[in-house]
Amino acid sequence: MNTVLSLTGSGSKALSYFFGVLVLGLTAGVALTNLPLGQIIAWSDKLFGGLFLAVFSGLVYLSILAIVRVAGQPLDKPGVRTWFEAGVQSANAIATLALTYTLLGISLGIGSLAGQDLNPDTVSAIIRSLTENFSMAFMTTVIGLPVSALLRAILLVAYSRSEELTPPYAP
């Protein structure tokens, strides 16, 4: 029962961090672009797509949960190393997701050229379609790789702190 309560407490703490960072990010977006919040959300959905945003958010939450579960705990406490590994894997999965969507966007962009005649009348529509797909491709990398690196760095620092809190092994 204590394990369930501990996980619930960690989960709500991680969710609070997740939503806090999300609110700060949206606030920065509104301040930098002077666009209303609704337009920023619509732009994000159009650019990245719902599936990318859902998987990305889930992996970010899992990474934050791992950080919360590792931070300040000695390594000899059960589950700390497991949560560390889960956090590293979820941070790596964010980078993999970003790169996969980059390749998908490039493939979609190139694929859109295959069935179209290129002439002066169609060039602007073709370029518009191509840049839309390329925009999604590169923005997933621009967002995903730094987020992955940041989460991995925070997790490694938390793990190092946990190593310092662990009493030395005495045979």
d(CA 14, CA 66): 8
Tokens representing 110 are 């190139």
Q: Are 65 and 154 in contact (CB under 8 A)?
A: no
Q: Are 128 and 113 in contact (CB under 8 A)?
A: no
Low-confidence ranges of the chain (pLDDT < 70): 1-7, 169-171
Model pTM score: 0.83
pLDDT digits (tens, 9 = 90+) for 59-87: 999 999 999 999 988 888 888 999 999 99
**Per-residue pLDDT at 23:** 94
